[in-house]
Amino acid sequence: MHRALELARRGTGSVEPNPAVGSIIVDHSLKLIGEGYHQQCGGPHAEIHALNMAGEQSQGKTIYVTLEPCCHQGKTGPCSQALIRAGIKKVVIAMRDPAPHVDGGGIEELKQAGIEVEVGLLESEAQALVRPFVKRVTQGLPWIHAKWAMTLDGKIATRTGHSQWISNPRSRERVHELRGRMDAIMVGQRTATADDPLLTARPPGKRIPARIVIDSQARLSVQSQLVQTVAEAPVIVVAHPSASQKKILQLEQAGVEVLQFSNCTSENESQPNLRLCMQELARRDMTNILVEGGGSLLGSCFDQRLIDEVHVFIAPKIIGGAEAVTPIAGKGLEMIPELHNLQDYQIQQLDSDIYVNGRVEHH
C-alpha cells in the first residue's frame, strides 16, 4: 500500500477534480506484477493501468488500491467490473470512496462477485492524499488554502501599503509551485488595486488557475494586468448585486466573467456571500482555491470558517506600526479556547524565511 500511495501522489495536480489514486498487483510471493496510478482526469483509473501491465497474470492475484474501486460509468468504465473480469482474487483498499456515485457500491459489487475485500490499510495516509476531493464531493465546497507572507512582527505591508517584497525569492518560488496546482487564485479588490498582480504560476505548473477578485463594487480596472492578460488565464470578478451595471459590462466586454452574490448577514451586507461563491466554484469542479489576501478577505474567510489549510512565510524582518496591515483582519475571535489550531503541520526553513504549512482545525 505504501507503494500504491507513492504512485498515487504523482497524479496530484493533474487528476483534479478526480482524486489521486495508486494501485499495485502482486502474486502469491508478493512479487509485483502490475502497477499504475490515475494520471489525469478523463484518463484510465489506477486499477486499469495496473491490470493492463499485469495482463493475463492478474487471474487469481491480489490488488492493492488507495481508494475504493469505482462502480459507475463516468468518463471511463467501472473498475469494479474490470477487476471481476480479470479474475482478481483479493482487493485491499485503503479507504472507501465517499463520492455519492460510489460510496461503498464498489466494495459491494466486488463482494457479490465472491472477491475477498479488505478495507482500511494505511487509511489515514490515503485520506490525507484526497482531502480536497473528499471535501468537494461531500460538502460541495472546494479545499481552501490561505497564503500570506509576513514579517516577524506579523505585518503584511507597511502603514502606507508598501509590501514588495517581504518574503525571499525562495519563498516566492514556493508560492508559484503552489499556484501551479490550484484551480483558482483569489484576492480582494484592495490587493488587486494596490499590487496590480498577475496571479499566474511562473513557471507554469500542471494546471492554469483562474484568477478571482472579490470586488463588491466591480472596481477592478480594465487596464489592470489581470484584465489585460485574460487570454492567458480566466479572470472572474465576484461582485455584489449593488455594483454598477456599467462597470460590470465594461469588465465583461474585456473578457472577464462577473458573478454576483448578495448577502443576508448584517456584518457583510454589502459584500458578496463568500460561502455561496465557494459553492459555485465547487459546482464548476474547482477542487483547490488559494486565497492570497489581503487582510480583509482572509479575515472574512477565517471568520466564516472557510479556510482548510495555511501556507505562511515568515521573514526575519520588522516593520512596526499599529496601522501597518495585519494578515488576517475581519472580526477575529474573542476567547483563546475558540482559536484555530494547526494540525499535521510542517515547518521548513527556506533560506532566511520560515515556511509553516498546516491544516486548520475548526471548532
At a CB cut-off of 8 Å and minimum separation 6, what does 135 contact? 141, 142, 143, 308
Q: Is 319 in the site for Zn ion (CB under 5 A)?
A: no
Q: Give whole-number Cα distances, 251 to 233, 293, 341, in Å.
A: 15, 22, 40
Sign of CA dihedral 81, 21, 74, 72: positive
Place of cell 455594483: 243
- Residue 98 corresponds to which cell in the numbers above? 465517499
Residue 257 among the catalytic residues: no
Q: By Cβ distance, which residue is nearest to ligand AOF?
A: 74
CB of 143 to Zn ion, least distance (A): 22
Instruction: Name which of ligand AOF, Zn ion, none residue 207 binds, using a CB cut-off of 5 to 8 Å depending on partner kind.
Output: none
75 versus 305: smaller Cβ distance to ligand AOF = 75
3-class SS of residue 135: helix
CB of 329 to Zn ion, least distance (A): 44
Binder of Zn ion out of 38, 45, 155, 311 (CB under 5 A): 45
- Determine the Cα–Cα distance for residues 281 and 236; give it in Å rounded to an integer: 11
CB of 224 to ligand AOF, least distance (A): 36
Instruction: Name which of ligand AOF, Zn ion, none residue 21 binds, using a CB cut-off of 5 to 8 Å depending on partner kind.
Output: ligand AOF
67 versus 350: smaller Cβ distance to Zn ion = 67
Terminal CA-CA length for the chain: 33
- Determine the Cα–Cα distance for residues 1 and 92; give it in Å rounded to an integer: 8
81 versus 279: smaller Cβ distance to Zn ion = 81
Q: Enumerate binding residues for ligand AOF (CB under 6 A).
A: 18-19, 21, 38, 45-47, 67, 69-70, 74-76, 79, 97, 99, 102
CB of 23 to ligand AOF, least distance (A): 7
| The one catalytic residue among 6, 16, 35, 47 | 47
Is-contact 57 35, C-beta < 8 A?
A: no
84 versus 236: smaller Cβ distance to ligand AOF = 84
- Determine the Cα–Cα distance for residues 290 and 186; give it in Å rounded to an integer: 6
- Mind telling me the catalytic residues? 47
